[in-house]
Structure 1
Amino acid sequence: MTLRRILIPALVVTMIGCAPVGQHRNASADRQQTELDPITVRVSGFGTYEQVSKDRLNTRKRLLARRASQLDAYRNLAERVYGTVIYGSSTVNDFVLQNDMFRTYVDSYIRGAKMVAVNEHSDGVVETVMELKLEPRFRACVSRVTDREVQDLCPIPMPRGNDSAGDFQSRGVDSLYYLE
């Protein structure tokens, strides 16, 4: 009997004391969802000449390699933001793989991307580094819709403020890899 008098009030006090902690955690999670920080996505695109020793002196082919690297960077950016559709098929005959084919498909538009660097490496590879700031409202939209609806319902908003300063700068870096 005395054990009940001590144990029951102790359990009630413990349960009441823990109740605000659960509410505080939910409020913190809600605040994190509404106050998302922007994310900067950085990608590289690559292009090259047909014959490195001969085409390096040909201005037209150098510009084409540069353009190829820029388009590759845009494609990589679209893949990172919106994803890639992959179609595949395999043919098996007598438990032996005969043919294996994959196709990728990217259909997207990107706006607000800026070119960070264009580097021409000594081996003839032209690298274009681009980045895109994903605003919190884009991330909030992506979290609310299904994967198939992202492309149509969540366009990438133009960045706020003056992001045009330093759109193009060439770095003296001879590396094909960047840490993000």
Structure 2
Amino acid sequence: MNLRWIAVSILVLALAACAPIGGHQDSGQRDTQLEPITVRVSGFGTYEDSAKDRLNTRKRLLARRASQLDAYRNLAERVYGTVIYGSSTVNDFVLNNDNFRTYVDSYIRGAKMVAVNEHSDGVVETVMELKLEPRFRACVSKVADDQVQDLCPIPMPRDNDSVGDVQSRGVDSLYYLD
């Protein structure tokens, strides 16, 4: 009987030693401790004929617009992911046909155009960034991957995120002027 009490007390002591110190943190407390993440992407566009079209203002603007749309698409892919459809045809152990299609359907708000660079070879590069708030990250961690877009919209920043922008000068707005 005495040996049983000694064994039980040693078992209780061992379990108490393995218990976490400081108690359990609430998930709401963890969300406030997360730092915002800034996602930065580049998009590219070009002219049809870089030697001739560089002088055409309309085609330069179209190349710039193409790079901007590519940057938005890259941003949506980075935040929400991409749906990929694929099919392959094999005949006598030889690949005959291989098709892949990607699908991006997202709603992005709060993206900021950081820079637009026109390179010497006719490529126009647009750099964009988006700040992901901690509450967005918390939502993403709680839902299934295929439900993130529907259940976790990108929230508006809580603070004035336009500080330092020459164009916005202290305006509490999520939208930026190019």
Fold match, TM over 0.5? yes
Instruction: Decide which of 99, 105, 108 is 2:106's aligned counterpart.
Output: 108
> What CA deviation, in whole Å up to 9, does each residue of 1:68-101 have, x standing for no partner?
0000000000000000000000000000000000
TM-score under structure 2 length normalisation: 0.80
- Cα distance, 1:15 vs structure 2: 2.6
The whole-number CA distance in structure 1 between the counterparts of 2:35 and 2:164 is 22
Match of 1:61 in 2: 59
Alignment of 1:1-180 (within 5 A): 11=10, 15=14, 18-20=17-19, 22-24=20-22, 26-27=24-25, 31-165=29-163
Instruction: Give 2:14's aligned amino acid.
Output: M
Q: Distance in 2 between matches of 1:12 and 1:94?
A: 65
| One-letter code aligned to 1:109 | Y
2:47 and 2:60 in contact (8 A); partners too: yes
SS of alignment partner, residue 86 of structure 1: strand
Q: What CA distance in whole angstroms lies between the structure 2 residues aligned with 1:96 and 1:102?
A: 18
Identity %: 75
**What is the alpha-carbon distance in structure 2 between the residues aligned to residue 59 and residue 36 of structure 1?**
45
Going from structure 1 to structure 2, the CA distance change for 1:56 and 1:110 (only over 3 Å counts) comes to same
CA–CA distance in 2 between the matches of 1:72 and 1:46? Answer: 6
Structure 2 counterpart of 1:142, one-letter code? V
In structure 2, how many angstroms separate the alpha carbons of the residues matched to 1:10 and 1:42? 57
Q: Deviation above 6 Å: which 4+ runs of structure 1? A: 7-10
- Residue identity matched to 1:64: L
Structure 2 residues without counterparts, runs of 5 or longer = 168-178
Indicate conservation of the 8 Å contact 2:111/2:129, yes or no: yes
Contact 2:31–2:135 (8 Å) recurs in 1:
no
In the other structure, the counterpart of 1:177 is none
Aligned length: 165
CA apart distance, 1:60: 0.7
The alignment yields a C-alpha RMSD, in angstroms, of: 2.8
CA separation of 1:118 and 1:18: change in aligned 2, threshold 3 A:
same
Give the secondary-structure state (helix, strand or coil) at the position aligned to 2:64: helix
Moved more, 90-99 or 155-164: 155-164
Say if 1:49 and 1:62, in contact at 8 Å, map to a contact too. Answer: yes
Contact kept in structure 1, 2:37 and 2:133, CA below 8 Å: yes
User: How many angstroms apart in 1 are the aligned matches of 2:138 and 2:26?
Assistant: 16
